Amino acid sequence: MRVDRTLKPAEASATPTPPTRLYANRVKVYPARVHGTFRTAKYAFLVFALVVYYTLPWLRWPRGEGAPDQLVLLDFAGRRFYLGPIEIWPQEIYLVTGLLILSAIGLFLVSSLFGRVWCGYACPQTVWTDLFMWIERRIEGDRNARMKLDQGPRDAAYWRKKVTKHALWLVIAFLTGGSFVLYVQDAPTAVRDIFTGEAGAWTYTFVGLLTFTTYTLAGWAREQVCTYMCPWPRFQAAMLDEQSLIVTYRAWRGEPRGKHKQGEPWEGRGDCIDCRQCVNVCPTGIDIRDGQQLECIGCGLCIDACNAVMDKIGRPRGLIALDTLADVQACERAVANTPPGPARIPVAEAAHQRMKIIRPRTMIYAGVLSLVAAVMLLALATRSVTDLSVLRDRAPVYVLLSDGSVRNAYTLKIVNKTHEARVFALHLDGLPGATLAAIGAEDVAGSTIPLAAKPDGVESHRVYVTAPVGAVLPESTTVTFRLIDASGREATRAESVFLAPRR
């Protein structure tokens, strides 16, 4: 829908110029109650999201002795992320990066198909604001009652309602902040510690911080977070095109709008009776009839409101609808020569364009999404539970022994991601007859030596490799360290070099 936004000079000059103000008082939004498909969907997702958020830290997932049994645990202190069967070590942080990339591209894809459903349904700001509004409505009543309350006297009833509302908000905010910290520590222990005063300063800080932000952002700031603070509304337009579903007012059907008395004919006028129900229910307080705008979070509550009105006045639903700009434009073109009124509907119906789901933009998003998902799955499937890294000594690069043989020293780091202590046999390939010895266990020197690896950790060993007496060695020999586990299989290997003096 293209709107003519040019200034009309004649009108402009006719208006006296009031003083410019740089800062404005907030116009408080009083969203009215509404019923309908979108409202039900919004509540359904709200319940789902909150149930997931509040219960997830309490779900258990046994991992064996000594390991945390929390299903989802972001253990920063222990440097491990536990996501069900997946365990992420610091060096595997790319898995987390991949997860974030998946979320971002998933968001792009959903936006290009269905517009701002994230903003309208899934964003925490929306979810908690909706929950807070529901409480507000239960205590202070619907839109008109709330407006009357705010303008009315500051009597006992006023204070009782306000105090109850804010108290409930604070309780929910505290539960929200409290639940947040349960994701980074053992939930049952943390809850006990929080209430007995035993929890750490950081725990209380984060509980306080999240309590404060939840209360402020969902209770007071609300739509201002979306319009003034959030960057997403600014650039989400880049993901949308004329084939994306957005909440649209079908101007070709609604205009010219105006009041309508029962029994009057609908010919020669639009279906919009200017009842302002769409404005009243809007959580961001905008008029959807002004077209696509930054403040619209795409929740579709105005569609519910308008449909209810259309049912009441006996006009077909869908004056405000989830529609693509391409369809709106096609209909607009088709009805250009038809006078306003019910006659336009069949004409537009005939010109109706179905939304194109398959288009370059969605294909690219879906393609990148699948690619990243495939790479992540591959990384997860081939994740090893044993890693070996070999650091060669550089000062000195080799040592000459009294019998004339050459010795090199290495620091071997064995990463054992399992939860059992393991012992590996260390083998060396590439240097026949070499003797291995580990510091602290020199008496078991030989062609293969046992090396211990503690559970769920990194164990460091200094290992000496001595070439046999009289061996003729090049300056540099490539050698391979191999770790053989208890069952005789090779767990992992790592390459390095063995250096000898120049001849």
Rounded distance between C-alpha atoms, residue 307 and residue 129, angstroms: 24
Residue 18 touching other proteins (CB under 8 A): yes
Residue 2 touching other proteins (CB under 8 A): no
Binding residue for other proteins, selected from 196, 262, 337, 402, defined by CB under 8 A: 402
Give the pairing type, strands 406-416 and 386-392.
antiparallel
Residue range at the interface with other proteins (CB under 8 A); choices 2-10, 139-147, 357-365, 485-493? 2-10
Residue 404 touching other proteins (CB under 8 A): yes
Q: Name 189's Cβ contacts closer than 8 Å, sequence gap at least 6.
A: none
Task: Find the distance separating the first CA and the last CA of the chain, reported in whole Å.
Answer: 83
Give the pairing type, strands 441-446 and 490-499.
unpaired
- Name which of 15 and 151 has its Cβ closer to other proteins: 15
What is the chain's alpha carbon radius of gyration, rounded to the nearest angstrom? 34
User: Which two structure tokens, joined as six digits, stand for 249?
Assistant: 């007012």
Residue 196 touching other proteins (CB under 8 A): no
For the CB of residue 448, give the shortest distance to other proteins in the complex, in Å: 20
Rounded distance between C-alpha atoms, residue 455 and residue 447, angstroms: 26
For the four alpha carbons of 147, 151, 157 and 161, in that order, the dihedral sign comes to: positive
Answer for the pair 86, 95: CB distance below 8 angstroms, yes or no: yes
Minimal CA–CA distance to 179: which of 218, 210, 217, 220? 210
Cis peptide before 124 (omega within 30 of 0): no
Residue 21 touching other proteins (CB under 8 A): yes
Residue 407 touching other proteins (CB under 8 A): yes
Neighbouring-strand partners of residue 320:
249
Residue 403 touching other proteins (CB under 8 A): yes
Chain position carrying tokens 């019998």? 403
Residue 7 touching other proteins (CB under 8 A): yes
Binding residue for other proteins, selected from 354, 394, 489, 503, defined by CB under 8 A: 394
For the CB of residue 391, give the shortest distance to other proteins in the complex, in Å: 13
Rounded distance between C-alpha atoms, residue 27 and residue 62, angstroms: 52
Rounded distance between C-alpha atoms, residue 137 and residue 145, angstroms: 9
Residue range at the interface with other proteins (CB under 8 A); choices 21-29, 174-182, 191-199, 382-390? 21-29
Residue 8 touching other proteins (CB under 8 A): yes
Residue 395 touching other proteins (CB under 8 A): yes
Answer for the pair 436, 484: CB distance below 8 angstroms, yes or no: no
Residue 150 touching other proteins (CB under 8 A): no
SS (H, E, C) 321-339: EEEEHHHHHHHHHHCCCCC
HSE toward the beta carbon, residue 27, CA cutoff 13 A: 6
- Name which of 9 and 62 has its Cβ closer to other proteins: 9
Chain position carrying tokens 């459903």? 117
- Name which of 363 and 439 has its Cβ closer to other proteins: 439
Residue 382 touching other proteins (CB under 8 A): no
- Name which of 216 and 338 has its Cβ closer to other proteins: 216
Rounded distance between C-alpha atoms, residue 177 and residue 367, angstroms: 37
Residues numbered 197-256 forming contacts with other proteins, rule: CB under 8 A = 224, 228
Residue 11 touching other proteins (CB under 8 A): yes
For the CB of residue 272, give the shortest distance to other proteins in the complex, in Å: 17
Residue 336 touching other proteins (CB under 8 A): no
User: Which two structure tokens, joined as six digits, stand for 95?
Assistant: 């898995």
Residues numbered 422-461 forming contacts with other proteins, rule: CB under 8 A = 439-440
- Name which of 241 and 287 has its Cβ closer to other proteins: 287
For the CB of residue 13, give the shortest distance to other proteins in the complex, in Å: 8
Binding residue for other proteins, selected from 133, 191, 279, 409, defined by CB under 8 A: 409
- Name which of 13 and 151 has its Cβ closer to other proteins: 13
Residue range at the interface with other proteins (CB under 8 A); choices 252-260, 348-356, 400-408, 413-421? 400-408
For the CB of residue 91, give the shortest distance to other proteins in the complex, in Å: 23
Neighbouring-strand partners of residue 462:
411
- Strand (E) or helix (H) holding 386: strand 386-392
- Name which of 375 and 469 has its Cβ closer to other proteins: 469
Give me the residues that bind other proteins (CB under 8 A), please.
Answer: 3-5, 7-8, 11-13, 15, 17-18, 20-26, 224, 228, 290, 393-396, 399-404, 407, 409, 439-440, 462, 464
